[in-house]
Amino acid sequence: MTDFTSGTLTGKNLHLSFGHNHVLRGIDLHVEKGTTASVIGPSGSGKSTLLRVMNRLIEPDQGDILLDGRSVLKDNPDELRQRIGMVFQQFNLFPHKTVLDNVSLALRKLRKLSKDQARAEALEQLDLVGLKHKADARPANLSGGQQQRVAIARALAMKPEVMFFDEATSALDPELVKGVLALMADLAKGGMTMVVVTHEMGFSRNVSDTVTFMDAGVVVESGPPEQIFTAPATDRLKGFLSDVL
Ligand code: ADP
Ligand code: MG
């Protein structure tokens, strides 16, 4: 099982520019172990970039990243990437591999499990997302929602301490969104530490413990969902909510 004794993640004063485009302008984001932080905000505000900086797919220009209170910026970046599972809008499954192989591959390569052990753990994860019966199928023969659940199983199989979701339901047909959100809500309730970038205001409001509203590379407001959704303090958040709700 996943180790829930660690996984408090903090980004402090994070800055990142792409050329002259100053995309992250001093972001603070804190997620306490066992809780879910949602990140909302308009397109282009820097949400995806923030996730990529916080798992060190991109190095910040300035600022710090702490896991369980300890700065990780001097460690090998691969270490943090393995401790944080990531689920994207596009599922990024290997099309020519079976569902089982998609989940077990990283277990063999990164966790160095034997073939049998990787298979057993992969089947266990697939069972948890309700797709054990699809183990031998190819991704193309699954619905988008099922493919995303496989991608989630693949990330969970690595036993991450924190899970990042970047608009995990945005590419799905409307009728498939619910199943994936329900799985994410189950994970949250089960004590997984999660950072969820989402356009699903229902999830943000009802499932997450904290909400961070970003606009143009800054955190404009953050707080408990009740405060963010019923008492927005800034015109920017009020405007955003009136656009999306
Ligand atoms: P969001 O996820 O909130 O829609 P992004 O983090 O994707 O926002 O993008 C924020 C800004 O950074 C945008 O102006 C985008 O064009 C720019 N950007 C994102 N990724 C790159 C990249 N790899 N190279 C250059 N600019 C990028
Ligand atoms: Mg994005």
In a domain, 154, yes or no: no
Distance CA 10, CA 50 (A): 12
Containing domain of residue 217, as a range?
Answer: 9-92+161-243
Atom of ligand 1 nearest to the CA of 42: 3
In a domain, 142, yes or no: no
pTM of the entire predicted model? 0.96
Does residue 27 lie within any of the structural domains? yes
CA of 172 to the centre of ligand 1 (A): 22
Give domain status of residue 76, yes or no: yes
> 201-204 — which CB contacts under 8 Å span 24+ positions?
201/40, 201/229, 201/241, 201/244, 201/245, 203/38, 204/38, 204/40, 204/228, 204/229
* Domain count of the fold of the chain: 1
ipTM of the complex: 0.99
pLDDT tens string for the chain (245 positions)?
445 568 999 999 999 999 999 999 999 999 999 999 999 999 999 999 999 999 999 999 999 999 999 999 999 999 999 999 999 999 999 999 999 999 999 999 999 999 999 999 999 999 999 999 999 999 999 999 999 999 999 999 999 999 999 999 999 999 999 999 999 999 999 999 999 999 999 999 999 999 999 999 999 999 999 999 999 999 999 999 999 98
Location of structure tokens 């879910």:
36
Best substitution site from 27, 48, 244 to test ligand 1's pocket, by max atoms within 8 Å of Cβ? 48
CB 235 within 8 A of CB 220: no
Q: What is the CATH number of the domain that holds 196?
A: 3.40.50.300
Residue type, 199: H
Whole-angstrom distance, CA of residue 50 vs CA of residue 121: 31
Nearest CA to ligand 1 atom 21: 18
193 lies in some domain: yes
Place of tokens 């009728």: 175
Asked whether residue 119 is assigned to any structural domain, the reply reads no
Among 145, 152, 144, 146, smallest CA distance to 187 is for 152
SS3 category, 11: strand
Is 172 within the bounds of a domain?
yes
Is residue 126 in a domain? no
Say how many Å lie between the CA of residue 145 and the centre of ligand 2: 19
Please tell me the distance between residue 67's alpha carbon and the centre of ligand 1 in angstroms. Answer: 25
